[in-house]
Amino acid sequence: MSDHTSFSGFYKKTLQERHDILKELGAVEIFPKPLTDEVANQMVENYITPYTLPLGVGVNFIINNKEYVVPMVTEEPSVIAAASNGAKRLGNIQAKVLTREIIGQIALTQVNDPQTLAQKIVEDKEKYLMIAQTYCQSMVKRGGGPRDLWVETHIGELDHYVTVYLSMDTKDAMGANAINTVLEGLGDHLQETFHVDPLLCILSNAGDRNLVKAWVEVPFSQLHPNLERAERMALRIAKASEYASIDPLRAVTHNKGVMNGVDAVVVATGNDWRAVEASVHHYISRKGHYQSLTQWTIDQEQKILYGQIELPLPIATVGGTLSVHPTAQWALELLNNPNAKELMEIVASVGLAQNFAALRALVTHGIQKGHMALQARSLAMQVGATVEEVPQVVRALRKQPQMNREVARNILLKLRNNECKH
């Protein structure tokens, strides 16, 4: 795509003008094929009708020196605007997948000597990895397959459990079905060999081996043209980041803001946002307390603000819902058909930009100024304003000391009464 400055004032343009800009930049056709009843009926049980959410695009993103227009699905005002603004201010975001493997577990019960069994399985680790490979030959041929195996014992009130953990490279697929097939096959083998009961054979949504990192270096001068104000802003962002790392109640909202951006891209690309949420919140609690997803620090001498995010992202670019949902396929085309690792890097970068925009707003003019400007549109529509009336209601709402449905309704009634008089 061409220079990202083409998106200057993108939010102010009409819908048709936005479509035209994307077409000029070589983007895919603006309107993907709709989700048909025939396809949707095969996706879920007791299907009735499609449920739609707004799909917008995050702009100004440069990730690993490549420009992206990022599809984002969300119903919350200000999310896409904040992500786009954050991306513009951050500039080139660097990102790298640290590891991409999913984890599964076989919980064995009715074990006479848990420690001895665990030792025997570990000693024959390579043999069991070879057996596991026989249950996913197509994945092995694509360069994936089982990668590691380890064993732990757990003591409960009802039984002693020997748990065999398996990690697996599923390439560009999410891999839930693939690893579950492997686990069930290996579980049967262990049952036959050791006369134990494989209570459950299932993947884990823990993402300890499915990690991506994104980071950025921002000169103070990019934060504000006035250096003194820029330094103050950088310090306040760093303090806000530090505070989120020590107060769990703040960390929850801090991370929710990050996930506003992460989930929006995950949903747009047809991925499982519940798996992502479960994986992320497990990962940031791994040290025994809930903590922040991002870290922002400053180098006072170099006049640089550093930001980084590290999180698990169990997402894919082939298979599952995204292989049959037309809008998910369109979204991946808009991103130039990334592989799974590239998509992880894109999503992490959006989360970092989203967080920066939120912190910047919080430590300067506050979160409500920008949020309520967009919320005014929602209020206008909630009280029944037509497309033509919305801009007038929004302008009047923004002049009021308070914005709520009652105020919006009164403004709309007054507007219509004045029109009737004329």
Q: How many CB atoms lie within 10 A of CB 382?
A: 12
In angstroms, rounded to a whole number, what is the distance separating the alpha carbons of residues 87 and 59? 8
DSSP 195-224: --EEEEEEEE---TTEEEEEEEEEEHHHH-
Q: Active-site residue 272, yes or no?
A: yes
In angstroms, rounded to a whole number, what is the distance separating the alpha carbons of residues 67 and 338? 13
289 burial level (CB within 10 Å; 0-12, 13-18, 19+): exposed
In angstroms, rounded to a whole number, what is the distance separating the alpha carbons of residues 345 and 330? 19
Which residue among the candidates 13, 66, 76, 96 is catalytic per the annotation? Answer: 76
* Residues 301/280, Cβ–Cβ less than 8 Å: no
Which residue among the candidates 231, 272, 342, 389 is catalytic per the annotation? Answer: 272
In angstroms, rounded to a whole number, what is the distance separating the alpha carbons of residues 267 and 274? 10
3-state helix, strand, coil in the chain (%, to 5): 50, 20, 30
Residue type, 25: L
Q: Active-site residue 124, yes or no?
A: no
Q: Active-site residue 195, yes or no?
A: no
Structure tokens at 198: 């494989």
Which residue among the candidates 88, 325, 341, 371 is catalytic per the annotation? Answer: 371
* Strand pairing class (294-299; 304-312): antiparallel
Q: Active-site residue 76, yes or no?
A: yes
Structure tokens at 245: 């790392």
In angstroms, rounded to a whole number, what is the distance separating the alpha carbons of residues 413 and 385? 10
Which residue among the candidates 33, 127, 195, 256 is catalytic per the annotation? Answer: 256
Question: In angstroms, how far is CA 303 from the centroid of its own chain?
Answer: 30
Q: Which residue has the tokens 């490279």?
A: 169
Residues designated as active site:
76, 256, 272, 371
